[in-house]
Amino acid sequence: MSHAITTVSPRARRGAGLLSVLRAFALTAALLFSAAAPADPVRAEQIMQVIRTERALLDSHMMYVNMYLDSGNINAAQFSLSMAYSDAIALNAKLAELSNELRSSRDAGQYTNLQALERAIQFCDVARKNMQMIQSYLLTLQMERPPSQFTRMLLSTQFQLFEIKMRDLQQAMSEA
């Protein structure tokens, strides 16, 4: 079996970094203008579906990150790390949008179970904090030479905590 060594030029890395920054800016701008939208529980579920899709994309990029890091191909891992970082930014923005939508639903009285909705808001906020930590660890892995096992372990733990909160969030949303 032959292993192709993929090298990513510094220019391509800068381009990927610029793409990440532009994507984050666009998502932030969209969040700022979407805050005034009326509350809609259906909209919250639509946002949740986008979050599921973004999470699948992040998991896909993380599969490549781990595969490349395990094989010692740090250059190839860098591109996948930047893509995973960009996915984490997008997820964080969508979680903020979902949190705002859940709060708007609460404020508009669009719920059947207030306690479940309050739990959903809390779980969403904690999941968002987990995603912010995931972003931090992804950025740290990009800067470490070579990426450390300890940072990878911390990242894995944050993914596990995020998954637990997302399950809790989905359950609470279904009860609200």
In percent, how much of the chain has pLDDT > 70?
77
The pTM (predicted TM-score) of the whole model is: 0.77
d(CA 83, CA 21): 11
Residues 49-69 have a mean pLDDT of 97
Task: Write down the pLDDT at residue 41.
Answer: 78
Q: What is the dihedral of CA 116, 118, 119, 122, to 10 degrees?
A: 160
pLDDT greater at residue 35 or residue 162:
162
Nearest to 96 by CA among 9, 24, 148: 24
Per-residue pLDDT band for 5 (boundaries 50, 70, 90) equals very low
d(CA 53, CA 57): 6
Residue 1 has pLDDT above 90, yes or no: no
Token output for 134: 């995931």
pLDDT greater at residue 138 or residue 13:
138
Task: Write down the pLDDT at residue 36.
Answer: 41
Residue 64 has pLDDT above 70, yes or no: yes
Mean pLDDT of the chain: 86
Task: Write down the pLDDT at residue 94.
Answer: 98
Q: Cα 104 vs. chain centroid, distance in angstroms?
A: 22
d(CA 106, CA 113): 10
Q: What is the pLDDT of residues 140-157, one digit of tens each?
A: 999 998 899 999 999 999
Residue 106 has pLDDT above 60, yes or no: yes
Per-residue pLDDT band for 173 (boundaries 50, 70, 90) equals very high
d(CA 51, CA 95): 7
pLDDT greater at residue 39 or residue 58:
58
Residues 13-30 have a mean pLDDT of 56
